Structure 1
Amino acid sequence: MRRVAIIGAGPGGLQLALGLQGAGYEVTVVAERTPEEVRRGRVMSTQLMFGPALALERAAGLNLWDDLAPVMGGFEMTQWDPGAGVPRSRFTASFDEEVRSVDQRVKLPAWLELFEARGGRVEHRSAEPDELPAIAGRHDLTVIATGGGALSTVFGRDAERSVYDRPQRTLACFYASGVAGQGAASDAYARVTGVPPVGDAIVLQALTVGGRCDILLIEAKFGGPYDCWADRPAPEEGLRRAVELLRVYAPWEYERFAKAEPTDAGAALYGAITPTVRHGVAELADGQCVLGLADAVVVNDPITGQGSNNAARAATSYLDAITRRGELPFDGPWMRRTFEEYWKRAQHVHAFTDLMLRQPPADHVVRLLKAAFEHPPTAHRFTNGYADPLDYRDWLMDPAGAEEYLAGIVRSD
């Protein structure tokens, strides 16, 4: 029986661990926290997942919350600058497939307990870079599935594939209960309000440790009014501050959140993320290699909600590569091929996210979004591209393709 070590118990690492376990591999997971510690901890992300990624979880038998997690039926985008004296622009469009968010404090403990119940070995501790040679020496394959802490330094930054070398936004995320609907279909949609000088307010519906909730993610441009989280306030003060900002910059959301309260003591998260592509394989001092998975090697800003989708795709891609390898060695060349196969799709996700962070926005993107506000088929296509950003390649990502697409709209009108 081949032995695999997975360092990190996030969504990608645990999905891969459970898949390998089901395929007959002896798997050890190194997890910093116990399931109960995760449940009692603070929120970790918005974990928005679109139809294709949810289908991968379902195929793996890991869709444990289908009867509990709310489904977001569509997408609403609003652009408005209260200081410019112009009307707001807004479009809504339906999702073609289900879209959900399940708090990682719900998902990860359940998956880790499932792994242990099926006989998997878990070491509840931190792993340091100097331990990797010993871990790799005891296993046929070692996968690093965590992008945080000292292990993030193991994989060098790929300068050719990384556009940014610093964060482009500061982030504040709140899980809230008591959000009031307005009696509109968009109450159950994923919603984005963009104010060009300030940033974006993103609202999702989710399942958290206490049941259903709403998530408010503030994507703040540096130096603007949304950039006010350096003191890392407690959830109650942080949410109150965020709601007061909504009063000015997204009053329709303020009406919903005016009486909201944090769901629990861990319902706030602050930070800033540098979008980065790292080399997928790290060679250790003794010549052994370890393979990076998902956020360990490809890190995206959450503005496009792609992190958990990337994790599901990466775990599925790596599981297929590992099982197809049979009894052949998991050597450095194989690891590099495995990462590059995953990167064929991940590159489109990363490029889309980088493009949406760009300041000032590319001219063709501005024109395409303007078309989405005026042309429902464009709004629908833009909305559903989030599920698989490969669709953006030939129009949103390509200036020439954008011109052709826009010309086609004119001809059809």
Structure 2
Amino acid sequence: MRGIAIVGAGQAGLQLALGLLALGGYRVTVVSARTPEQLLAGPVLSTQAMFGPALRIERSAGLDLWAGAAPAVRDVDAVLVPEPGVRALEFTMTLDEPAQSVDQRLKMARWLELVAERGGRVEYRSLDRAGLRELAAANELTVVAVGRGGLAGIFERDAARSPFDAPQRTLAALYAHGVGAPDPSAGPRARMHAVPGVGELYLQPALTLSGPCDILLWEAVPGSPFDCFADRPDPDEQLRRMRESLRTYLPWEAELWEAAEPTDAGASLYGALTPEVRRPVARLDGGSGGSGGSGGGGAAAGGADGPAVLGIGDALVVNDPITGQGANSAARAAAAYLVAIVARRGEPFTTEWMHDTFERFWHRHARHTVEFTASMLTMPDHLQAVFGAAAEHPAVARRLANTYAEPIDYAAWLASPELTEEYLATVRSAAPGAGPVPDGPLP
């Protein structure tokens, strides 16, 4: 049996581990910093929303365990707030397949248990570089699915593919019960508010430890009035401050939060991240695994230069959550890596193979998530025009919604002003009575 070690117990790492165990023929070791009990008792980990394509991957692997309990969300109501208390450009984006959000404390705790139940080895400990070197030397392939803690910086930044060198938003999230809905009869719906120069607010129905809830993600422009959580307040204080800002900027939303309360003592999350892409291979002698592409030669991963490890998920590609790509991209990465590992059969997992595995994933998927997310953070004029057109044309709103679910479509219509104008011109000609599509930036 081929020995494969996976460091990290998030979406990418655990999905890959469970996929290998389902196939058989692999001795799988997962290293997790936290036990299932510690995960369940700890703070929230993310604001994940899984779109249809990623959910299909989970379903095919038998890992979509909460389909009957988690709210199924098809519609996202979007509102532009050009100044406090003013609603403009309202429209609804409809997904072709419903999205789903499951608290990762609940999800990863159960998946960790499944690894052990299905014959995998789980080691509960934190690793530094020395510990990772020992682990890699004892396995044919080691995949690193975490880029924090003692392993921070193990994968070098790829400057050519990294669109930013600083956080574009500060992030605050709160899981809450008792949030009202504008139209309770409409079923679960997500809500998105954009406040130019200040930030964005996203409300996502979800499933948490205590049942259905709502997640409010607060994307604040650094230094703006929304950027008010750097002292990391507890959930009650975070909710109080959020209500205060909602009353000023979104009073209609504030009314829906009057009866809200945090779901638990760990219901809040704060941080800031720099969107970036890292090189996929690290040599554990302190050097890197090559300069990218399919380089690195054909040396075995445990060659004379020290063992090499392969990154996956947000160990390599870090996206701001403004487009909800993190968990979705991780699910796709795990599925792609699983195929590549199986196709290797008995051949060694060389550094060349590692680079090629990531490069295929990068070109087929990850680059689109990076470009789409960067555009949403910077809002170039042609993308602002798309949001304006979405308020007039349901077809535009629907295509925009489904670009979140399938970011590869970004390259077909949002990647340049010319592509966008070509598409909007087609929409205009198909619906001459629907009114003009705005050509310029949003107000």
Q: How many pairs are equivalent?
A: 410
Structure 1 runs of 4+ with >4 Å offset: 184-187
Secondary structure of the 2:161 match is coil
Aligned to 2:359: 340
Aligned to 1:46: 47
User: 1:316: Cα distance to partner?
Assistant: 0.3
Secondary structure of the 1:112 match is helix
Larger mean Cα displacement after TM superposition, 101-110 or 283-292: 283-292
Aligned to 2:311: 292
Residues in 1 aligned to 2:377 and 2:149: alpha-carbon distance in whole angstroms: 25
Aligned to 1:380: 398
Alignment of 1:117-196 (within 5 A): 117-183=117-183, 188-196=188-196
Matched, 1:349 2:350: no
Q: Deviations over 1:336-360 (max 9, x none)?
A: 00011111211101110011111xx
Secondary structure of the 2:40 match is helix
Larger mean Cα displacement after TM superposition, 200-209 or 88-97: 88-97
Aligned to 1:404: 422
Matched, 1:27 2:28: yes
Q: Deviations over 1:233-272 (max 9, x none)?
A: 0001101111221112222221211110000000000000
User: 1:288: Cα distance to partner?
Assistant: 2.0
Secondary structure of the 2:30 match is strand
Q: CA RMSD in A?
A: 1.3
Q: Deviations over 1:266-308 (max 9, x none)?
A: 0000000100100011122133210000000000000111111
Given the alignment, which residue of 368, 376, 386 partners 2:386?
A: 368
Residues in 1 aligned to 2:181 and 2:78: alpha-carbon distance in whole angstroms: 17
- Give, as a single letter, the amino acid of the residue that structure 2 aligns with 1:350: V
Aligned to 1:392: 410
Residues in 2 aligned to 1:403 and 1:68: alpha-carbon distance in whole angstroms: 41
Aligned to 1:314: 333
Secondary structure of the 1:335 match is helix
Secondary structure of the 1:393 match is helix
Q: 1:187 to 1:259 in 2, by over 3 A?
A: farther
Q: 1:162 to 1:21 in 2, by over 3 A?
A: same
- Give, as a single letter, the amino acid of the residue that structure 2 aligns with 1:288: P
Matched, 1:256 2:256: yes
Q: 1:300 to 1:355 in 2, by over 3 A?
A: same
Secondary structure of the 1:191 match is strand
User: 1:188: Cα distance to partner?
Assistant: 1.6
Residues in 2 aligned to 1:45 and 1:292: alpha-carbon distance in whole angstroms: 20
Given the alignment, which residue of 349, 353, 362 partners 1:330?
A: 349
Q: Deviations over 1:156-199 (max 9, x none)?
A: 00000001011000010000001122325666211110010210
Secondary structure of the 2:327 match is helix
Secondary structure of the 1:29 match is strand
Secondary structure of the 2:336 match is helix
Residues in 1 aligned to 2:108 and 2:308: alpha-carbon distance in whole angstroms: 27
User: 1:331: Cα distance to partner?
Assistant: 0.7
- Give, as a single letter, the amino acid of the residue that structure 1 aligns with 2:339: D
Q: Deviations over 1:310-366 (max 9, x none)?
A: 1100000000000110000001000000011111211101110011111xx211111
TM-score by length of 1: 0.97
Alignment of 1:82-97 (within 5 A): 82-83=83-84, 87-97=87-97
Residues in 2 aligned to 1:289 and 1:314: alpha-carbon distance in whole angstroms: 19
- Give, as a single letter, the amino acid of the residue that structure 1 aligns with 2:345: G
Aligned to 2:320: 301
User: Is the Cα contact below 8 Å between 1:74 and 1:186 reproduced in 2?
Assistant: no
Secondary structure of the 2:310 match is strand
Residues in 2 aligned to 1:111 and 1:59: alpha-carbon distance in whole angstroms: 15
Aligned to 2:268: 268
Residues in 2 aligned to 1:86 and 1:257: alpha-carbon distance in whole angstroms: 18
Residues in 2 aligned to 1:273 and 1:242: alpha-carbon distance in whole angstroms: 21
Larger mean Cα displacement after TM superposition, 400-409 or 71-80: 400-409
User: Is the Cα contact below 8 Å between 2:50 and 2:327 reproduced in 1?
Assistant: yes
Secondary structure of the 1:73 match is strand
- Give, as a single letter, the amino acid of the residue that structure 1 aligns with 2:207: L
User: Is the Cα contact below 8 Å between 1:129 and 1:150 reproduced in 2?
Assistant: yes
Identical aligned pairs, as a percentage? 53
User: Is the Cα contact below 8 Å between 1:318 and 1:338 reproduced in 2?
Assistant: yes
Residues in 2 aligned to 1:12 and 1:113: alpha-carbon distance in whole angstroms: 16
